[in-house]
Amino acid sequence: AQSVTQPDIHITVSEGASLELRCNYSYGATPYLFWYVQSPGQGLQLLLKYFSGDTLVQGIKGFEAEFKRSQSSFNLRKPSVHWSDAAEYFCAVGAPGGYNKLIFGAGTRLAVHP
């Protein structure tokens, strides 16, 4: 069965510092991979996605993620965090060729210190 693990429940970084949020997935083949962000009072928003091709994908708001098949990982990174990045981040996996029945991880809550 598909599953997603986000090992870090909470992460705190200083504004301007770099960020890496971890995501590991379990799936029999190469899945579709996503990162969503959930800010207070707002719906989940897609940051970026990986379907195939280049394993380093760029997203909105300066985020990027790298798919590593050998590690079953899809970690999210940002070189310099802004205070407005404080939110909850969800990694999700979907079945290729299927509809958007996404399996989400439990999320990582990011706090940003000034």
Please give the residue ranges that form the binding site for other proteins (CB under 8 A). Answer: 4, 9, 32, 34, 36, 41-46, 49, 51, 90, 92, 94, 96-107
Shortest distance, CB of residue 4 to other proteins, whole angstroms? 8
Nearer to other proteins, 69 or 101 (CB): 101
Q: Which is nearer to other proteins, 13 or 103 (CB)?
A: 103
Strands 108-113 and 10-14, by their bridges, are parallel
User: Coil, strand, or helix at residue 48?
Assistant: strand
Amino acid at 21: L
Q: What number of CA atoms fall less than 13 Å from residue 103's CA on the CB side? A: 18
